[in-house]
Amino acid sequence: MLANMARLIRSAGCLIIGDEVLNGKILDTNLFEFAKFCFSELCVPLKKTVVCGDDHSDIVASLQVLRNAECDFIVTSGGIGSTHDDITYDAIAAAFNVPCTLDLETVAKMNALRGDYLLKLTQPQRDAFYRMATIPQASESVPVLKLFTDKSLWVPIVGVNEQVYILPGVPQLFKRLLSGLGESVKPRVIQLKCNRYFVKTTTGELSLAPYLTALQQRCNETYGPGAVKLGSYPHLNWRINTISIIGEEAVPIDALRSIVAEVVANIGENAAEITSEEEDLMSTTEPPVA
């Protein structure tokens, strides 16, 4: 790739880093946020996700899995704190064979926003804090970009080779920074715009399966394989199944609306179209207590 040619984005990948995720100490929500971001904000498919521990070689190998899968836009979550097991910056620098050193611009941001706090620290504590400003640096062949997308935060988004973007694992920070990252990468995105609809029903999945299988086959024959995707998801606590109908931009809206109407008419048992917000509600919350 020529130096003056921006890397285009057609697909995404996500690397979740943390022993705490693998041992069940915390419940990761960042992948959920990133998946919504890819679909709704960027209109690119999230192709692959990898979860790995706080291990240098594991991070390097896991990142390579995503790069080998030709994910153009990779976001990492976790492992950029002040303790000994926060090694994401160092590992990703090693993966691209670039140096990882104290970044004075990030230190200046830290001092501007947290100067009073830093003055209270002992030198070893301050050194540990500055680990969070020890980040990958550019080489002649690998560009590194620092994005300070939130003026109230000193934490940068570190972008390596216009492909890998390193974000914190703290959900509140991840979500805030991800929003800012979108504005930076959108000019490089080749959007695969989709339209998505949802239908809910109390009909069980086993009863739905033959009909949905036949309908998916018809959609493949009419619009091409994958142009329309049907999915079914059981919300067990709500005693409701939802069916998603996702169509690529080339599929006419009228055709998708016709498929939605057909699904409602054929799956029975209180079938009705619902909004994406209603689907999210059932996916993320428990039903009200009767």
What pLDDT shows up at residue 5? 63
Residue 2 has pLDDT above 70, yes or no: no
Q: Give per-residue pLDDT as tens, 163-180.
A: 999 999 999 999 999 999
Residue 3 has pLDDT above 70, yes or no: no
**Averaged pLDDT score across all residues of the chain:** 94
Q: How far apart are CA 287 and CA 290, in angstroms?
A: 9
Greater pLDDT, 6 or 89: 89
What pLDDT shows up at residue 1? 38
Of the candidate ranges 101-115, 124-138, 156-170, 271-285, the one whose mean pLDDT is the lowest:
271-285
Q: Under 8 Å CB-to-CB from 182, ≥6 apart: which residues?
A: 37, 41, 42
Q: What is the rounded average pLDDT of the residues 52-63?
A: 98
Q: What is the rounded average pLDDT of the residues 221-225?
A: 96
Greater pLDDT, 249 or 73: 73
Percent of the chain at pLDDT > 90 equals: 89
Q: Which helix (H) or strand (E) holds 214?
A: helix 205-223
Residue 4 has pLDDT above 60, yes or no: no
- Res. 290 pLDDT band, cuts 50 70 90: low
Q: Under 8 Å CB-to-CB from 147, ≥6 apart: which residues?
A: 156, 157, 158, 159, 180, 181, 184
Residue 123 has pLDDT above 90, yes or no: yes
What pLDDT shows up at residue 234? 93
Residue 233 has pLDDT above 90, yes or no: yes
**pTM of whole model > 0.75?**
yes
Q: Which domains does the chain have, with CATH numbers?
A: 12-188 (3.40.980.10), 194-284 (3.30.70)
Q: What is the rounded average pLDDT of the residues 41-48?
A: 93
Residues 7, 164 contacting (CB under 8 angstroms): no
Task: Find where tokens 């739905």 sit.
Answer: 208
Q: How far apart are CA 196 and CA 149, in angstroms?
A: 30
Percent of the chain at pLDDT > 70 equals: 98
